[in-house]
Amino acid sequence: MSATADVLVVGSGAAGLTAALNLAEDRKVAVIAKGALGEGATGWAQGGIAAVLEEGDSFEAHINDTMIAGAGLNDREVVEHVVESAPRAIARLVELGVPFATEGDALHLTREGGHSFRRIVHVADATGAAVQQALEAAALKHPNITLIPDMVAVDLITGRHASNFSTSGAVHGLYAYNRRRKRVEALTARATVLATGGAGRTYLFSTAPRGATGDGIAMAWRAGCRISNMEFMQFHPTCLYNLQVKNFLITEAVRGEGGHLKIPGTGERFMPRFDERAELAPRDIVARAIDHEIKRLGLDYVHLDISHREPDFVRSHFPNIYEKLLGLGIDITREPIPVVPAQHYTCGGVMVDLHGCTDAPGLYAAGEVTQSGLHGANRLASNSLLECLVFGEAAARHINANWDDLAEVPDVRPWDESRVTDSDEEVVITQTWGEIRRFMWNYVGIVRTTKRLERAKHRIDLLRQEVADYYRHFRVTPDLIELRNLVEVADLIIRSALSRHESRGLHYTLDFPETDAKAKDTVLVP
């Protein structure tokens, strides 16, 4: 059959568009997005991108900071490669027109938790949005890139879907639900790049976009790829506490620029009691400290206060946060911000090598969907966009270098809907989704116990069975596709957490509070 494109990229954020732009000189590239092109997590990133650019800073310091944050579970070779690639990645974004903040003739650098130097390049407090806009504009202009919104990925196409059945394990594209045509279509290609983001919406409170349902992780798992370190879910310490506004992140940089965490009512700074780095400690430490104080005192939230800084400084550094909160009646130049922790980043995912290769021939992955070895047991602030840029480029480079070795696209069977009907029970999807997110928050959250994890496992086993039965009988819808992936990913998180009998980084369990001498990845094999 004729392929949809030479290369199919699944996801239109920083990782996907970087891969597409690096491929497009030689290949025809199709980029699909689940919804609108800019709806992914990239556009939500506030803080910035970490890179060694300041005099006195060094690659070694950035590597060490990353390794320390990752609790020794990082792959040092990967960390070195990404850190050393960072200045070049920033230079390419500057060429694309990203308007990074400057100070004189140099880029303005800020500092965030876990970093030993000022090394965060940023566009005020909306770096991700600026990067997304620049990459999108470049992709739209390129004649070899086709951007296709409103395509919800269902499953990867392997030899098992070919007219001539094969167990080769090679990936030849995917089936996707076309929202506009309301049908599932086969999209085929010599190489497929997963850039689908994380699985934040597995949790009740999350800063992730609505579409972060672990689609790429679930699809890769079903296609036979190993999944690693799913127990390491990063909880951002400071998400706005507001019952009307959900998922609004208060960037790490507010603490980097002097913001203090305080107890409401008393105004006591509590972080110095937990870590000598106080508010600049890594996220897992800060999130656990906030969680501890909220539970100890029966609070709904704690305060993040930057009102002691000059008003002009606050307004110029955090214009979006200032305007957003002013609209909610909070003037951050004069009063503190109510904050709670929320799920923020998925550190585990599809196992890839330095080139973004997965276990399946023809399948690559980049960004939050992966476990590349960069983050280990906890992601250092502002290393996420960097990972997208470096691995998006790496995947493209490997595809181009090994093009002749990639399998030709076989004839693929069309999607079969002959044995299903339209559902008349959509409430099942809503109910199950809510149930998963609640028990994942309560049982598989910031602080864990074996008993809580076992309770979660029992519930997810029942729900997986129910969802599988529902999927077999009814036509797919975007909500059903997401729920099927969500239940799969929740199971992977719980299984990973149960298998780790220690506390390390983001995985903190009261039953095994000590950290083992030797760091080992959790690897799940289909």
What crossing angle do the helices spanning 59-69 and 76-95 adopt, rounded to 10°?
120
Q: Which letter does DSSP use for residue 13 in this model?
A: S
Q: Which letter does DSSP use for residue 161 in this model?
A: G
User: What H or E segment, with its residue span, contains residue 268?
Assistant: none
Query: Residues 171-194, buried b or exposed e (16+ Cβ, 10 A)?
Result: bbbbbbbeeeeeebebbbbbbbbb
DSSP-derived secondary structure for 348-391: -EEE--TT-B-SSTTEEE-STTEE-SSSTTSPPTT-HHHHHHHH
What pairs with residue 370 in β-bridges? 350
Minimal CA–CA distance to 189: which of 17, 20, 415?
Answer: 20
CA distances from 281 to 7, 111, 113, 272, 337 (A): 41, 12, 5, 10, 19
Annotation says 283 is catalytic: yes
Token match 């998400």: residue?
A: 239
Which residues, in sequence order, are CB contacts of 71 under 8 Å at separation 6+?
376, 377, 378, 504, 505, 515, 519
CA distance 52 to 373: 20
CA distance 227 to 349: 5
Q: Which of 283, 452, 459, 504 is catalytic?
A: 283
Q: How buried is residue 310: exposed, middle or buried, by Cβ count under 10 Å (0-12/13-18/19+)? A: exposed
Minimal CA–CA distance to 380: which of 59, 42, 115, 48?
Answer: 115
Q: How many CB atoms lie within 10 A of CB 365?
A: 32
CA distance 298 to 500: 30
Minimal CA–CA distance to 482: which of 219, 246, 231?
Answer: 219
- Give the residue numbers annotated as catalytic, written as ranges: 283
